[in-house]
Amino acid sequence: MQTPRTWDVLLIGGASGVGKTSVSYRIAQHYGVGITEIDDFQVILERMTTPEQQPILHYGRTHHDEARRMSEDQQLAFMLEYSQVMTTALDLVIGNHLASNAPIVLEGDFILPSLAVQPAYDAIPANGRVRAIFVYEDDEAQIDQNYLTREGQAQPRRARASWRHSEWLRQEAMRLNVPTIAARPWETVFLRIIATLAAPSQPSNT
């Protein structure tokens, strides 16, 4: 049974490897709306800009060795800076969907909690039509296992970076009063998200 939808744009954020993508497609199907992965915009922006125009978007390619030597703190700071650049593009995308009344789920690693609480997008008032959920995994080893299952090899350094990113997103979302959902137990994450979206949204703590 389809749950009544109270939003036009649903942002599903969370770090890489926490399991948000698979549940995002179920959510979109449940509500009968389209879904777009933020990675698609990332690819487009990288192809349509130069390193001079958007150095952050091209840093991994233009400074490959330096990127690999980043400390944990530097990795997190870079991810947040990258996400901030993506926010500029996402602001336009969300505004377009609000203007056209075209409901959509936007899912990806680069969604910041602050994006979810903006009063307007591309100068179009949100008026409660934008909702967000941040999926998190508090067990670093589980993220590594997820990568192993998904990609066939353990990636402990990547899992560590993802776990730190997940924790930052969770804490920032809580600070802004944006709902957070634990990825496990897997069997109930879909229903827990639906229940959260059915409840009235709470004012942000901005």
Under 8 Å between Cβ of 108 and 36: no
Instruction: Examine residue 205 and state whether it is found in any structural domain, yes or no.
Output: no
Under 8 Å between Cβ of 81 and 56: yes
Q: What CATH number does the domain containing 87 carry?
A: 3.40.50.300
- Our count of domains for the chain comes to 1
Instruction: Examine residue 153 and state whether it is found in any structural domain, yes or no.
Output: yes
Instruction: Examine residue 1 and state whether it is found in any structural domain, yes or no.
Output: no
pTM score above 0.85: yes
Residues with Cβ within 8 Å of 94's Cβ and at least 6 positions away in sequence, in order, are 9, 106, 115, 121, 122, 130
* Structure-token pair, residue 64: 């490959």
In this predicted model, what pLDDT tens digit does every residue of 194-203 receive, in sequence order?
999 998 877 7
Give residue 94's domain range: 9-198
State the distance between the two ends of the chain, measured CA to CA, in whole angstroms: 35
Instruction: Examine residue 206 and state whether it is found in any structural domain, yes or no.
Output: no
Instruction: Examine residue 142 and state whether it is found in any structural domain, yes or no.
Output: yes
Instruction: Examine residue 101 and state whether it is found in any structural domain, yes or no.
Output: yes
pLDDT beyond 90 at 15 = yes
Mean pLDDT of 170-186: 97
How far apart CA 91 and CA 153 sit, in angstroms, is 35
Instruction: Examine residue 17 and state whether it is found in any structural domain, yes or no.
Output: yes
Instruction: Examine residue 4 and state whether it is found in any structural domain, yes or no.
Output: no
